[in-house]
Amino acid sequence: MKIEMPCIVCPNSCNLEVEYEEENGQKKIVSVSGHLCDRGITYATDEITHPMRMITTTIKITGAHIARLPVILSDEIPKELIFNVLTEIKKIKVKTPVNEGDILLENILGTGVNLLASRSLL
């Protein structure tokens, strides 16, 4: 199978052409072209074989002058877990004081990734 995808690693936005095979649900890269540097190969390979995503969102907070606290994951998670992780995040209720970097939820769904406060609300 052959697809095209823009490389989002740098502003050059190279248009990558990626050929891969799929067997028993496992994808394997055959070739990558259109890249100006090797980071494009790494990006295409990761995106096809095990795509990862970062989540930033907001959660409810009480006791602050604003109603929602911006939060971010400590690392990327597998793309297929986004919905389940967001469901876990939605369950959280926090109240002030919260400091930037505070861990609000630890090892979400066994991923080893934590949910962190993106700002302080005291």
Q: What is the contact surface with ligand SF4 in residues (CB under 6 A)? A: 7, 9-10, 12-14, 35-37, 39-40
d(CA 73, CA 113): 7
* Cβ-based nearer residue to ligand SF4, 4 or 23: 4
Grouping H, G, I as helix, E, B as strand and the rest as coil, residue 17 is strand
Q: Closest residue (Cβ) to ligand SF4?
A: 40
d(CA 98, CA 30): 48
Of 91, 84, 90, 92, nearest to 110 by C-alpha is 84
d(CA 5, CA 15): 6
* Cβ-based nearer residue to ligand SF4, 49 or 107: 49
CB of 6 to ligand SF4, least distance (A): 8
* Cβ-based nearer residue to ligand SF4, 11 or 25: 11
